[in-house]
Amino acid sequence: MDEGKLKVLNFEVFFGEKQILHEISMHFLNNKVTAIIGPSGCGKTTLLRSINRMNDFIESFSTQGEIIFDNQNIYGEGVDPVVLRQRIGMVFQRPNPFPKSIFENIAYGLRIQGWRDRHQIAERVEKSLRSAALWDEVKDRLNTSAFDLSGGQQQRLCIARAIAVEPEILLMDEPASALDPIATARIEELIKDLKEKYTIIIVTHNMQEAARTSDYTAFLLLGHLIEYGPTDQIFTNPQKKETEEYLTGRFG
């Protein structure tokens, strides 16, 4: 398997005394979609949130091992988590637009980065909304509240907000789980389009979603990485008994 810019090496996570992840090692390929699957409580979201240090906000959180991004351990000295999160964006399970206008939701990260030219900001806002397949639906109401959008539109807005600062990696935690089937299909199509520019890692409970959207699939169970490989192989010819039992619905 070719190595990408992001790799996890013997990575372990603890919340206080409790160990959540055990010796996780995997490479994420550039411009591919990797799905992380497994039953509730297996450590999927913990792993995802570790990749851009969102777990830092939990007081009891500690790690062993490394997550290497661009040849640097993201938990090493001198790494600024704020800068890291601009390079590794995240979209959460439930849409979480800011209490601002549609335009200002997208512009927010740019302003934090120091952008001042309104014309340049407007260009990037439009580009991001187009990339998120939302521009045509909102171009005439950019100054209205983001809360006026439907759930599916809000999630695409959050994707547009994440990509406005042009991250290299996009993390998605169950991005369609709160959406109806039509909105889910739009998000799935969007994921396929976005991988041309971004490396995408998606956590999902939905086996069909993983099969439809991802190039590679990782199966986690009780904090251990059981199997990792091309999605077609994982779903049609899993190498581990636990993977087969999970995919055929015997547990989880």
pTM of the model: 0.92
Q: Looking only at Cα atoms, what is the longest distance across the chain?
A: 57
Class of domain 6-95+171-247 as given by CATH: alpha beta
Domain boundary assignment for the chain:
6-95+171-247
Tokens standing for residue 172: 């998605």
- Walking along the chain (252 residues) 10 residues at a time, the average pLDDT comes out as 80 96 96 95 94 93 95 93 92 91 95 92 95 93 96 93 93 88 88 93 92 96 96 95 90 65
Query: How many angstroms from the chain centroid is the CA of residue 10?
Result: 21
CA dist 43 to 14, 48, 130, 204, Å?
A: 11, 9, 33, 12
pLDDT at 1: 44
**How many distinct helices (H) and strands (E) make up the chain?**
10, 10
- 179 contacts 210 by C-beta, under 8 angstroms: no
pLDDT of residue 24: 97
Q: Look at residue 252 in the predicted model and tell me its pLDDT.
A: 61
Separation CA 57–CA 54 (nearest Å): 6
Which of 48, 50, 52 shows the shortest CA–CA distance to 37? 48
